Every structure is written in C-alpha cells, then in structure tokens.
Structure 1
Amino acid sequence: MNREQELLNRAHKEINENKKLVEKDCFRQKYHIQPPVGFLNDPNGFIEFNGEYHVFYQFNPFYPGEKMVYWAHVKSRDLINWEELPIALAPSEWYEKNGCYSGSAVKNKGVLTLMYTGNVLDEERNREAYQCLAESTDGVKFIKHSSNPVIDKQPSGFTAHFRDPKLWQKNGLWYMVIGAQTDKEEGRVLLYKSRDLLNWDFVGATAGSNMEGLEDFGYMWECPNLFNMEDKDILICCPQGVEPQGLLYNNLFQCGYLAGKLDYSSGVLKHKGFTEMDRGFEFYAPQITEDSKNRVLLIGWMGMPGDVHPTEKFRWMHCLTIPRELKLIGEKLHQSPVEELKSLRKEEIAYNHVTITDEEIQLENISGNNFELEIIIEEIDAEEFGIKLRTSKSKDEYTLLNYSRDKKLIILDRNKSGKNLKGIRGCRLSNELKSLRIFSDNSSVEIFVNNGEEVFTSRVFPDMLSTDIWFLSNNGRVNIKSVRKWEI
C-alpha cells in the first residue's frame, strides 16, 4: 500500500468511527458545508467545472489529536445541495508532508487543476513552503503532477511564510497572487505569471504592509484573491497582526479588500485603502470564483484560528458560510446571498406595517432555529431599534442586533448568546438602516444589512429551545414596512 492510500484509509476510518458521535451534536448545521468529522478551515479550489460547483476545504479528520491537513471535496449543481466526494488531496509526498495547505482551482484545457501549498517542517520546526499542482479529468480523482513542486522557493527577501496561490488567466497568460512575508516581517501579496502553470516568473509585490499608505499593517498577508469588477481590480486578502482601531480590526486576524488598478508589468496595485469585508466575529479566508452566469461568487470560512467551540467534544469544528454574490457599488463591495438560496424557503409567515413604540414585541410564528428573516424598515423615529434572535423563554439568552439612529451604529452583541463565545462587534452605516436579511442555522447567524452593504457573520451556540424573536424600540417609534420569515 502506498503512502497516499494509507493516509486516505486512516482518514476514512476516522470518519466512519465517529459518524454517530458527530451526528448526536445539536449544533450540527442544517444548510452549511461542514466536516464529517474533525476540523474544517479555509475553503479552497472554488470553481464551476462541467456544470457543477466544486468546493474543497482544509480538513484535519484527526482533530483535536494530531494535525494532518487534507483537502476535503464537495460538489453541487445549485450551490445549495452539496454532495460529499472522496478526499481530493492527502499529504503523502515529501513536499507536503506537514499538510496540503490552501490554494485554488482552474480549468486548463478541460482538466480541473489544483494549485496548492505543500507545508514542510523540519526537526527544529523550521518551515519550508512548496507550490504544487494536482490534476483531474473527471473532477473526482486527482493526480499530483510529476513536476512538483512547480515553485520550490520564495523570492529573495521573503520568509517561508509563502502560501495560498490563487490563479486566473488573462491575455493568454496565467497569473497568480500568493500570500507572503518579508524578512522584516511585513505582510505582502505577490504576483507571479506563467505560460504553462509549470514555469513561474515572479513579477513583484502587489500590496502589503508599508506599501501604498498601509503603515504597519500586519506581519503576514494570506489567502489572497484578485479579480476585476466594474473596471476595477479588487484584491481580497487576510492581514495578520493588525492592531484594533476603535470599531475596526477587532478579530484575531482580519479580512478585507483593496480596490484599484493592477499594473501587470510591475505587479503593484494602486488603491485607496483597506476595507473590512465582514463586521462579525467569524469570517476568514474567503475564496471567489466567476461562474457561467458571470457572477462573482464568494464562500468563506465561518471560523477564526484559536476558537474553542462546544462542538469539539463531538469531534468536529467549524463550517463554511453560505455562498454569496459580490457586486461593486461605487467603491464598496456588497455581498448578497446567492439567488439559489430562495429555493430553501418553506412556510412563509408575513406581517405588513408593524409599529413598535418604546416596547419589546413578538410576532406570532416569527421564531425558530433554522430560518431566513427579511425586514424592510419604513422609518426609525427612535433612539434605538433592536432584534433579539434565538431568545430563551426566560429572555436571559439571546443574540442582539441593535441599531442606534443618531450614530448610525449597528452592533452584534453575543454576550448572552449561549455557550463559549462572547463579545460585541459593530460598524457605522453610510445611510439609515433600511433592510436586514438574516440567515440563522443551528449554530450560526449571517446578517446582511442594507442589501449587503455590511455583513455580520458569526457562530452562536444557544440552547435549541431558545427560538423566540423579539423586536424592540427605545425612546421612540419604529415603523416596519414588512417582516417575512421562512423556515429552512
């Protein structure tokens, strides 16, 4: 038996032996991608191939025991119903012995091709990073390329924190952005080019700490994506080591984007600054793809390094976000749930013209664990408007979304949300609060504000009996045009 088959057998054994334990957990999600066992993190290789969407993700089936990073693999025709496929990559070769780390997928002459980072640690835990290829003609079975690693060393002046290649094609050439760190411990995104995916030339540094006005902006930038939208080049990236600034940068690591113009000859992106993509607690390492409907789609990791969740005792951790469509409106990226999610809607409950004045109210049958909730606001003539989600009968457990009219400040407060996780996150809106679209699953909430101008993505772990929803106003009147709720 070869090394790869041995590792695959071990992973499948772990999945099968823990299946019943994992399924006992009340916090298993109903409509999110989640691991069959063990630890999930970065989504990888998001692509539409032969009429189906494929998503891979970082997968350690042995968590919380030894660390062994594979690529798990799911596919879907509709972005909603996901079929679990055989594990795509196992860390079987010398150039990836400590993990098949993040990367992306492209279609090359009809072949589904993955490019990923092979992680290697020596006996002193010194890191080496190798960029590698794997190919599949059927979209299921992947063969690692005989030329691996196709990039065997980071450029001069950079450390071995060199990972997460994201590829695209332009004018007959392949391009790649990759996360990096300088010898001075400054985060960077680097640009490479190639004619054949095998031989790569370093073009230059695209963006990073102490470039283009981003002073002291992190010691490592990872998980980059670069794409063009509305004649702007947009770089999504994840800086590590950015200090909090008021409402900004309050998670352990950050995720955001730069919009501007990429100089393909120098590699430099001219931009106007960094904007956070998500205002919640758990959103990281997103990956984008452009599909046959000319949509730019995104899916992210609904997690953060260092999290401790009650799911761990059931031998699994983390999930991915719902798929989202990106649109650039002015200088701002908006995120919206993909249209296909509407097919999950069941049992609509609707109310029109609801008025709340200095009170907390419930609306009959507006409750639940797994739901979509849409709220259209006519006028807020109150100091504050709030919604308590996943509320217990005693009202001592809830997740609070609260809007302060004068400050245009919206916050997500999960200090009373249930097990393990606490804290407050917030942001200021550019306009008045007009709409909310909220997706609740057994252990998560995703809140889209003003048609996705701002988004809050977070895990929550309330009691399964905490299903009530309360609407509240403080010091004034709130006129709600409509409330619509669907079971999912």
Structure 2
Amino acid sequence: MPECPNFFEVDGKWVLIFAPLELEDRKAMYLVGDFDYDAGRFFPQTVGEVDWGLDYYAPQVFKDDMGRTLMMGWMESWSFHPWYLGNAKNGQNPHGYVYDCSEIGFNGSISTPRTISVCHDGKLKFDPVPELKTLRKDPRTQYNMMVKAEEKIPVTAGDNVHCEIFAAFDLTQTSADVIGFGLRSSREHETLLEFDLAHGEIIFDRTRSGNKSAVVRKCNLESVRKDELTVHIYMDSTTIELFTDDNRTVMTNCIYSPVESDGLYLYAKGGDTLVSRLQTWGMEKVNQ
C-alpha cells in the first residue's frame, strides 16, 4: 500500500512520490510521467528510488519562494521506536531491527533539504540545497592522492562526526575492485561505505555501527561505467546521507555509535585508486 503521497509538476513532467508499505526494504519511490488533467489520469513512464537507505521515509515536497521544488524526509525507521522494542519481544517483529532511542533523548530527525529535478532520461536527481554551504567551517582540500591497495588513509573532516565530505575518484587511474570510507571508527564501532567497482554496487555496512539494526544495505552504482566517481557525504551525530551518481543515487541511514567513535579514513581493496580531489568541512550547529 502506498502512503504519504506527493503529486506535483517539475521540469514539465508530473511526479508521484510515495512510501510503499510491506515492499521489502523499499522506503520511498517515485514515478515520473504525464498527467491528463481533464481525464484525471496519470501515465507513468519512469520508476525509481527516492532514497536507497534504510532510514528515509515519508518525504514531503513543497515549493519555496524561489520556485524550487524541495523535499525533506524522516530519517528514522519504525524499528527504532521504544514500542517497537516491545513488539520484538513479543515476536511480532520478524526483522529484529531494534534500538531503543529513548536512551539518547530523541527519536529521529529530518533530512537535509534536497531540490528535485528531472534528468534527460526521465530519472530524478536530488541535490542538497546550496544553503547548506553556510554551515561549513574548517575547510581542507587535497588533490591527486593515491590510495594503495589494502591501505587506510586517515582523513580529517572537522570533528569527524558533524561534517561534510566530497571526494572525486579518477576511475581511469583506478585498479581497485573496491574503494571505500571507514566512518565513525573506533575499536568497538565502525561504519563502512563501499563502492564495489567490480560488481557495480554501493554497500553500506552498519553491522558494527552500535545499534541492533546490524544490517548491510546495497544498491546499484551507475558511475562504475564512467571515468569519474563523485561521493558527497553529510554526517551528523546519528545520521549519514550519501549523494552519488550525479545525485541520482541517494542513501540515508541512521547509526548509533558513541560520539567518541570519530575515526575517518579512505581505503582500497584489490588495487589502487586515485582521489583527484578530496574536500572536507566541519559543520556548524543550527540549534545554537
């Protein structure tokens, strides 16, 4: 059953965004097509995922005073609610995705705002709003950094917890099968974000992220067929938002690692990779 529908026009096309219930792990989907207003009929032509993450649900779409089509979503899952913990104990939650968020004093948050536009092939792209740049501090930039096979290169991005990361990988100078980021790393906790070039997949591994929702999330990687892979990451205390494939692929996931888990590094498997540009920033608080 689809819920939380949004039906709107953008770039000359009509879009239906909805949250499907009981459709495995698909949290938010879209249809793009044409709408016959007189007949009241929608003719979808393209289908896609709004966000491939485990924790992006019920997105809401609106227009701002500049005419932009904007979207924000709920970053959380039902399985993180205290009452869901009780359901799991009663055997009513077959997945067992449980973390009692009441222990940290809040439950869920709202994603970064994203602009929506239609690509030439009818797919949607979701760009972080440029206003997020006003939160940047402590900028760092590196060029032409070679990451050797099985090597871990430490990275600094503000305090490595509340930060923004942009990386461009030159795939013409890459022999690695997998390139990735170790995020929120410590002796006990770690989140891995991998780009499997051999199989064309993005892999988000939170089996050691500090919550009982210890699962791995995968989706297709379009950029494996291109000369460059760009990766844009926003991290906050309990969330990681990924934008890649020219922002046609987005993945949002929650983690519950302690703030002391602040290690950050780049790595490669099965070969080397050239990072043509790596930019990092810390992020200012918005609730001063």
Q: TM-score range by the shorter chain?
A: 0.7 to 0.9
Higher RCO, 1 vs 2 (CA within 8 Å, ≥6 residues apart): 2
Equivalence for 1:324: 114
Equivalence for 2:128: 337
Q: Secondary structure at the match of 1:476?
A: coil
Equivalence for 2:273: 478
Equivalence for 2:13: 232
What is the RMSD of the two structures over their aligned residues, measured on CA atoms?
1.7
- TM alignment of 1:348-427, pairs within 5 A: 348-363=139-154, 365-366=156-157, 368-379=160-171, 380-392=174-186, 394=187, 396-427=188-219
Q: Distance in 2 between matches of 1:300 and 1:228?
A: 19
Q: Deviations over 1:409-435 (max 9, x none)?
A: 111111111133221111112232611
- Counterpart AA for 1:339: P
Q: Distance in 1 between matches of 2:162 and 2:49?
A: 27
Q: Distance in 2 between matches of 1:474 and 1:285?
A: 36
The answer to whether 1:436 aligns with 2:226 is no
- Counterpart AA for 2:33: G
Q: Secondary structure at the match of 1:342?
A: helix
Equivalence for 2:35: 262
Equivalence for 1:287: 60
Q: Deviations over 1:50-109 (max 9, x none)?
A: xxxxxxxxxxxxxxxxxxxxxxxxxxxxxxxxxxxxxxxxxxxxxxxxxxxxxxxxxxxx
The answer to whether 1:274 aligns with 2:274 is no
- Counterpart AA for 1:467: D
Alpha carbons of structure 1 residues 230 and 391: separation in structure 2 relative to 1, 3 Å: same
The answer to whether 1:462 aligns with 2:257 is yes
The answer to whether 1:445 aligns with 2:240 is yes
**Match 2:102 to one of 312, 326, 336:** 312
Percent identity among equivalent residues? 27
Does the aligned pair in 1 maintain the 2:142–2:278 contact within 8 Å? yes
Alpha carbons of structure 1 residues 436 and 364: separation in structure 2 relative to 1, 3 Å: closer
Q: Secondary structure at the match of 2:247?
A: coil
- TM alignment of 1:108-147, pairs within 5 A: none
Q: Distance in 2 between matches of 1:365 and 1:406?
A: 28
Alpha carbons of structure 1 residues 449 and 364: separation in structure 2 relative to 1, 3 Å: closer
Alpha carbons of structure 1 residues 351 and 314: separation in structure 2 relative to 1, 3 Å: closer
- Counterpart AA for 2:139: E
Per the normalisation by structure 2, the TM-score is 0.85
Does the aligned pair in 1 maintain the 2:156–2:264 contact within 8 Å? no
Q: Distance in 2 between matches of 1:364 and 1:276?
A: 31
CA positional deviation for 1:397:
1.6
Q: Distance in 1 between matches of 2:102 and 2:155?
A: 35
Per the normalisation by structure 1, the TM-score is 0.51
Q: Distance in 2 between matches of 1:368 and 1:480?
A: 19
Q: Distance in 2 between matches of 1:323 and 1:295?
A: 11
Q: Distance in 1 between matches of 2:175 and 2:67?
A: 41
Larger radius of gyration: 1
- Counterpart AA for 2:247: G
CA positional deviation for 1:479:
0.4
Specify every segment of 5 or more residues in structure 1 that has no aligned partner in the other structure, as ranges: 1-219, 245-249
Q: Secondary structure at the match of 2:76?
A: coil
- TM alignment of 1:27-42, pairs within 5 A: none
- Counterpart AA for 2:168: I
Q: Distance in 1 between matches of 2:103 and 2:208?
A: 22
Q: Deviations over 1:194-237 (max 9, x none)?
A: xxxxxxxxxxxxxxxxxxxxxxxxxx211111111221111101
Q: Distance in 1 between matches of 2:53 and 2:240?
A: 9
Alpha carbons of structure 1 residues 287 and 318: separation in structure 2 relative to 1, 3 Å: same
Does the aligned pair in 2 maintain the 1:388–1:398 contact within 8 Å? yes
Count of aligned pairs: 259
Equivalence for 2:3: 222
Q: Secondary structure at the match of 2:222?
A: coil
CA positional deviation for 1:360:
2.8
Q: Distance in 2 between matches of 1:346 and 1:428?
A: 32
Q: Deviations over 1:20-57 (max 9, x none)?
A: xxxxxxxxxxxxxxxxxxxxxxxxxxxxxxxxxxxxxx
Q: Distance in 1 between matches of 2:104 and 2:210?
A: 17
CA positional deviation for 1:364:
5.2
